[in-house]
Chains A and B, each alone.
Chain A
């Protein structure tokens, strides 16, 4: 009788452990936002869906549009869209060492302030700003892109969208 009770209890605990694990795996806590210990302050190459955007919480799937913010302590924050980085900086004041973005033309990591931005790219969040290393007609610098982003003058605004897409 005692043995049966112990076996039932063991079975119940195994089930409870499995339930807790399933609950955990399905929860938001599995989110990964920050890569720590990047003391070399170099861009961190990640795999798709390995990290989430610190602003919009979406999995970073398209690595071609992503940006990274590296703090002096070596914490690296990831953003799926340069627009997300701008919005995030509105509410956060990290001890920034560098901000890097992937470029669509040269596929390199460069300083966000040295990049030129197109306004009509199919970026993950649909803001339209995509970074390029080489300047072309219609491209804007970082500060202008930042201003437009903060003013909401991006592809989310139907008027702006119509105006920009008509030009093409």
Chain B
């Protein structure tokens, strides 16, 4: 057994994932039975039993999904800690690229975070109504999410069992740094245009949320999330590290930078999620989404303010920009 699997963080993480997956597997089997026999209009003892069982299953899923949301930052913390064991890695960037499973796993986790959040919203709607109107929808949705969760669990195992502690990996300055005219930004963007897009898209997200143009808000928010990622890695991050050549999305999760990465990425992810959730709730489920919109506005504004504050703070302290 390699050193990686003996690390405390990995043991805790994999154990937690396994227990949660077993719970989800039981919930998946029961949900299949529920979907087969569910008939809310029937006054049979079987339907009464199914309703009781569905309440129990939905509670299990609710509990597991909430824990899965908490496990995402713990996963990032775990791979960050593994940088001590993997030669060449200075932070999680090198560890995540230690094998081909790392990046798909992290992307899948973010997709699952969004899907779980949507499931939680639909569940809240369903439990709030008297006749379980979304019972079938949320069960089918759970089955889809479960397929993603199964893929995630397999990738988790494959990823942690395939990290070599003898092969050196690249550090973040090699992965994200620029040499010889290389430009890591997409769509031919340079830093000034990236920043213009960043603030324009933020303004667009705010306006579309305020004016209920939620169909436009959805693509604008997703595009903002992508541009914000690049803006943080290639511009704002350099002010967090106070080093123009240090471009990394992971180093900011370390204690040298007061773990600000968790706050920054958390604000972005949850802000984007609430904006998407607001659009889905209002347009598809015809539900008022004022609280969700307020949450999205608050979190995304805090994210933009925090990013900008690092640049302003640096300029205020040193009188120059990087």
Binding site for B on A (CB under 8 A): 3, 6-7, 9-10, 13-14, 16-17, 20-21, 23-27, 29-34, 36-37, 39, 54, 73-75, 77, 94
Contacts and interface: CB of A to CB of B under 8 A. Distances in A.
Given A10-B211, A36-B174, A30 B187 contact: yes
Contacts of B216: 10, 14
B96 to A, nearest CB: 12
B197 interface: yes
B127 interface: no
Contact of A33 (B180, B187, B204): B180
Nearest to B223: A17
A110 B190 CA distance: 36
Contacts of B180: 33-34, 54, 75, 77, 94
Given A24-B189, A25-B188, A27-B190, A33 B182 contact: yes
A21 B168 CA distance: 38
A13 B199 CA distance: 10
A7 B211 contact: yes
Interface residues of B, number: 29
Given A29-B189, A32-B183, A73-B174, 10 more contacts: A6-B211, A7-B211, A13-B200, A20-B200, A24-B190, A25-B188, A34-B182, A36-B174, A75-B179, A94-B180
B213 interface: yes
A17 B202 CA distance: 11
Q: Which 7 residue pairs are nearest across A and B when measured between Cβ atoms?
A: A30-B188, A34-B182, A29-B190, A6-B211, A24-B188, A33-B181, A13-B204
A37 B97 contact: yes
B193 interface: yes
A127 to B, nearest CB: 22
Contacts, number: 85
B182 A32 contact: yes
B183 to A, nearest CB: 6
B170 A37 contact: yes
B181 A34 contact: yes
Contacts of B121: none
B129 interface: no
A64 to B, nearest CB: 24
Contacts of A23: 193
Contact of B188 (A3, A29, A36, A73): A29
13 contacts: A3-B211, A10-B211, A10-B213, A14-B204, A16-B200, A17-B197, A20-B197, A24-B190, A29-B193, A39-B168, A39-B169, A39-B170, A75-B182
A31 B181 contact: yes
A87 B201 CA distance: 43
Contacts of B168: 39
A17 B179 contact: no
B181 A10 contact: no
B207 interface: yes
A10 B207 contact: yes
Contacts of A54: 180-181
Contact of B187 (A3, A24, A94): A24
